[in-house]
Structure 1
Amino acid sequence: MDLLVKQVNLLLVRHGTTRWNREKRYLGHTDIPLDPGGRDELAPLARELAGKAFRGVYCSDLARCRETLAIISPAQADTAMYDPRLREMDFGAWEGHTYEQLQHQSLYRQWIDSPQQVTPPGGESWADFAGRIDGFVGSLLKDVEGACSRPAEAQTGGRAALSGLQGIKTGGAELTGSQRTEIGEAALPGSKGSDDSEAALSRSERSGGTGPESPVPPGMLIVAHGGVLRQLAVRLVPGLSFWDVHVQPGSLLWIRLSFTEETGSWNGKLVNEA
């Protein structure tokens, strides 16, 4: 068995709902705010995180994520790192359009079938999107190492941040039926449903060892977009695919990162709210 030497809890929060989310429009780099319902839906998470400290806070620089962070953790909004690498994929000419408006375009149909091989006109390739997320992960892991090297008495953020999380909306498939799922901020037809997501979650660790007798790792908060959180989970949790992960607006994924001497690397496990 691997000898565990370091652990960090990552709370990954998707921004609240915008008008384009409700209208199922592709929303990438277009900078629009939350709608009133999107702000209201963040209230439960804001109550649970009130007064909680994190060892690092990272946020997309787009308005909908900035606004989300200001609502759920206002005390740390001024000191957070606002990183453009955490932006959603740029959908180029398809920004602001719906599936119904694009469905008869041949390039769009090819992109639905093979998004890793086809790039939206004027938009971002999958390789570029994945590459900037990889760059962020590299920076994050350096900060994780730093958080773990601080004196144990200073590492109080994890316990404070993770206490009382039961009951918060976590993960979950955002589907309009068995034939719909998300690639970024808009819904697409013909992809995997919630059964695949549940199977993926069952492959991940669902208990975090967070009882009173267990030392609680430091906590770090990331506020970003649906596609970004999926790609982060893919990079950090072995065995996950992009389509395994579904995060509703205003909800979170909780990933526990562990470093072992045997592997010499950081690996994550999905942890539910229990």
Structure 2
Amino acid sequence: MELELTCIRHGATQWNKERRYLGHTDVGILQESLIELAPVKEALKGRSFRKVFCSDLKRCRETLDWIYTVSADQVVFDNRLREMDFGEWEGRTYDQLKHLDTYRNWLSDPESSTPPGGESWGHFQGRIADFMNGLTCFTKEESKDNQLLIVAHGGVIRQIATMTVPGSSFWDFSADPGSLLTLKLTFDGGKWTGYVG
């Protein structure tokens, strides 16, 4: 059975604009980002989704409120869809961190280095995998409508795509604020695989 995921990154925040690391810090979107989200809102007009999943952080909730009307029983606010927790690097920029050995090590090999007080790459991947494994319930229910909407963060969307598109890597996918990425997936051999559609 196929599953179609429409993945949308939240609208831009002030920290995004200032190119600051933004993980679990709970800030809202900029008013001006509503204009940037208009094409996504238009693309979703008239569409229906079997279920809507949204990060529980404010910037994703505000984005969902603006782009798509959904009933309370149809949406799940899921903290597994949060961006990576950057710990002590939250709110800081590349220029503020580039002199730190730990930061440079993390940039070159994020799987073997962790932001101080933050989340390891393995933990981040694990919770995204846990979320994706939970979607197998949709393969057990016969339905012509297997379209899901996910409103989340850039790192989360890239990780979902990396896990499911064979031969891809994390930076192969664009996930700018307010962008939309559609994945068409099949659950086979105990894992989701598919392509960008």
Q: Say if 2:183 is the partner of 1:255.
A: yes
Which deviates more from structure 2 when the two are superposed, residues 92-101 or residues 230-239?
A: 230-239
Q: Say if 2:164 is the partner of 1:236.
A: yes
User: Judging changes above 3 Å, is the alpha-carbon distance between structure 1 residues 95 and 50 closer, same or farther for their aligned structure 2 residues?
Assistant: same
Q: Within 1, Cα distance between the matches of 2:2 and 2:106?
A: 38
User: Judging changes above 3 Å, is the alpha-carbon distance between structure 1 residues 39 and 117 closer, same or farther for their aligned structure 2 residues?
Assistant: same
The one-character-per-residue Cα deviations of 1:74-118 (angstroms, maximum 9, x if unpaired) are: 234663100000000000000000001111111111111111110
What is the letter of the counterpart of residue 106 of structure 1?
D
Shift in Å, 1:259 = 4.5
From 186, 193, 197, the counterpart of 1:267: 193
The one-character-per-residue Cα deviations of 1:22-60 (angstroms, maximum 9, x if unpaired) are: 100000000000011222211121122123210111010
Between the aligned residues of both structures, percent identity stands at: 51
TM-score (ref. length: structure 2): 0.93
The count of residues paired between Structure 1 and Structure 2 equals 197
Aligned residue for 1:145?
139
Q: Within 1, Cα distance between the matches of 2:110 and 2:191?
A: 29
Q: Say if 2:49 is the partner of 1:50.
A: no
Task: Verify the 8 A CA contact 2:164 2:194 in the aligned structure 1.
Answer: yes
SS in 2 for 1:52: coil
Q: Within 2, Cα distance between the matches of 1:41 and 1:265?
A: 34
Aligned residue for 2:125?
130
Which deviates more from structure 2 when the two are superposed, residues 35-44 or residues 89-98?
A: 35-44
User: Judging changes above 3 Å, is the alpha-carbon distance between structure 1 residues 115 and 7 closer, same or farther for their aligned structure 2 residues?
Assistant: same
User: Judging changes above 3 Å, is the alpha-carbon distance between structure 1 residues 77 and 64 closer, same or farther for their aligned structure 2 residues?
Assistant: farther
Q: Say if 2:31 is the partner of 1:36.
A: yes
What is the letter of the counterpart of residue 179 of structure 2?
S
Task: Verify the 8 A CA contact 2:55 2:61 in the aligned structure 1.
Answer: yes
Q: Within 1, Cα distance between the matches of 2:190 and 2:105?
A: 40
Provide structure 1 residue ranges, at least 5 long, that are not aligned to the other structure.
1-5, 156-217
User: Judging changes above 3 Å, is the alpha-carbon distance between structure 1 residues 229 and 114 closer, same or farther for their aligned structure 2 residues?
Assistant: same
Which deviates more from structure 2 when the two are superposed, residues 236-245 or residues 123-132?
A: 236-245
Q: Say if 2:103 is the partner of 1:105.
A: no
Task: Verify the 8 A CA contact 1:69 1:77 in the aligned structure 2.
Answer: no
Q: Within 2, Cα distance between the matches of 1:239 and 1:141?
A: 22
Which deviates more from structure 2 when the two are superposed, residues 48-57 or residues 59-68?
A: 48-57
User: Judging changes above 3 Å, is the alpha-carbon distance between structure 1 residues 259 and 125 closer, same or farther for their aligned structure 2 residues?
Assistant: closer
Task: Verify the 8 A CA contact 1:59 1:222 in the aligned structure 2.
Answer: yes
SS in 1 for 2:5: strand
